[in-house]
Amino acid sequence: MHKNFKGIEKTVFGRGSFNQLGDIIAPHRRENNRYMVFIVDNYFKGKDLESRLPLLPEDTVYFIDVDPHEPTTEQIDTLRDEILATKGLPSGIIGIGGGAIMDIAKCVSLMVTNEGSSTLYQGLDLIKVPGIYHVGVPTISGTGAEVSMTAVLTGPEKKLGLKCEWTVFNQVILDPDLIATVPRDWWFYVGMDTYIHCIESENGQFNNAYSHAYAEQSMKLCREIYLGENSGQTAENDDKLMVASLMGGLSLTYSEVGICHAISYGLSKILGMRHCYSNCIAFNHLADYYPEGVAEFKEMVAKHNITLPQGLSKDWTDAQINAMAHVSYKLDHMWNHAVGYDWKEKVTIEDIEAIFRRL
């Protein structure tokens, strides 16, 4: 069986395209209780973008601070209950921010029509009925959350996405102007998430002509942005990074991520380390699995004077390392892709613990 994936329905790309948001959502304003919910990264509170939101008096805006923690099931349930209790079913949800805000927007759009807690729906195809119209506007690029079929939530038991066809955005607006203010270190870590998506997608058994074409183009863009003559955080490179993120996401969708993501999930789940940062921490030490990719990654790190901490594992307990290795070990699909269907004969919990001890 080949994967039958759903893509974004509509995409606008271009500098200033954020100004089209009002016109784009206008036809949907007749749906349900005739109001829109805007979910915006708190970074933009009081900034120019706030005054550019195409609000009508009936609309609701939530500014959310994503820094205390990644999106949680409890946070989504509370937000959903508040939205429904105040004005009933909205016409649509517009998420303006990074991976965290886009995931919140995706989840809320599903949870306003599906009863009970979002913990019930963490997994593949567990959502029962379609959600409502939802729009994603990335303001930091690299995770590919704008194009993916999943919306990742941390719950009491697991960190797992609500993954189904209806999770995918109906509309995405890619305006490179919006990512200009991303702090330099995050610009690097998040861009490396894209680069690592491509390296992992390419290096495994599920790679194919379709995923390869996207990875090849996305990596070309990453090289221009992070290694080229005109590398750095420039307007032209921001255009490229938005497209690279999208294509990296499409590549892994039709293939799979690999060992770096398996290790990174352990770091995030047990230590609360952020996704893109933990990928960089892990990838730095995976030269035996991805020799060319890691060598090039190290060139990028050096070129941009990024300091990645070393020797972190000396502060971790054996129990923590064991717990992280178990999180990784459970990500069967990633190891399958990277090592082969017989990966359990080749990779043990102790081997994975040894990878964590390198970090």
Query: Site residues (CB under 5 A) for Zn ion?
Result: 193
User: Which CB, 141 or 336, lies closer to ligand NAD?
Assistant: 141
Q: CA end-to-end span of the chain, whole Å? A: 37
Q: Could you give the residue ranges of the DSSP H alpha helices within the chain?
A: 21-25, 48-51, 73-87, 99-111, 184-202, 209-226, 235-254, 259-271, 275-283, 291-303, 318-329, 332-339, 343-346, 349-358
Dihedral of the CA atoms 189, 192, 194, 199 (nearest 10)? -150
| Smallest distance, Zn ion to C-beta of residue 192, A | 9
Query: Which entry of ligand NAD, Zn ion, none binds 182, CB below 5 to 8 A by partner kind?
Result: ligand NAD
| Smallest distance, ligand NAD to C-beta of residue 151, A | 5
> What percent of the residues of the chain are helix, what percent strand, and what percent coil, each to the nearest 5?
55, 10, 35
User: Which CB, 277 or 290, lies closer to ligand NAD?
Assistant: 277
Q: How many angstroms separate the CA atoms of 201 and 108, rounded? A: 29
Give the x-and-dash track for 23-42 against ligand NAD (CB under 6 A). ------------------x-
| Smallest distance, Zn ion to C-beta of residue 350, A | 26
Single residue of 13, 63, 186, 206 touching ligand NAD by CB under 6 A: 186
Q: Give how far Cα 215 sits from Cα of 33, 195, 239, 278, 331, Å.
A: 42, 9, 17, 21, 22
Residue number of the CB closest to Zn ion reads 193
Token pair 């994967």 is at which residue? 3
Query: Which entry of ligand NAD, Zn ion, none binds 176, CB below 5 to 8 A by partner kind?
Result: none
| Smallest distance, Zn ion to C-beta of residue 259, A | 13
| Smallest distance, ligand NAD to C-beta of residue 314, A | 27
Question: What number of H helices and E strands is found in the chain?
Answer: 14, 9
CB-CB contact of 146 with 181 (8 Å):
no
Q: How many angstroms separate the CA atoms of 78 and 278, rounded? A: 29
Instruction: Name the one range near ligand NAD by CB under 6 A: 30-38, 140-148, 324-332, 342-350.
Output: 140-148
Told to check if 148 binds ligand NAD by CB under 6 A, we report yes
Residue number of the CB closest to ligand NAD reads 99
| Smallest distance, Zn ion to C-beta of residue 141, A | 12
Told to check if 99 binds ligand NAD by CB under 6 A, we report yes
Single residue of 181, 313, 320, 322 touching ligand NAD by CB under 6 A: 181
Order across the sheet with 36-41: list the strands. 10-13, 171-174, 133-138, 92-97, 36-41, 60-64
Query: Which entry of ligand NAD, Zn ion, none binds 231, CB below 5 to 8 A by partner kind?
Result: none
Instruction: Name the one range near ligand NAD by CB under 6 A: 24-32, 100-108, 287-295, 311-319.
Output: 100-108
CB-CB contact of 41 with 64 (8 Å):
yes
Told to check if 145 binds ligand NAD by CB under 6 A, we report yes
Q: How many angstroms separate the CA atoms of 134 and 196, rounded? A: 28
* Binding footprint of ligand NAD on the chain (CB under 6 A): 41, 43, 66-67, 70-71, 97-101, 103, 139-140, 143-145, 148, 150-152, 178-179, 181-182, 186, 190, 275-276
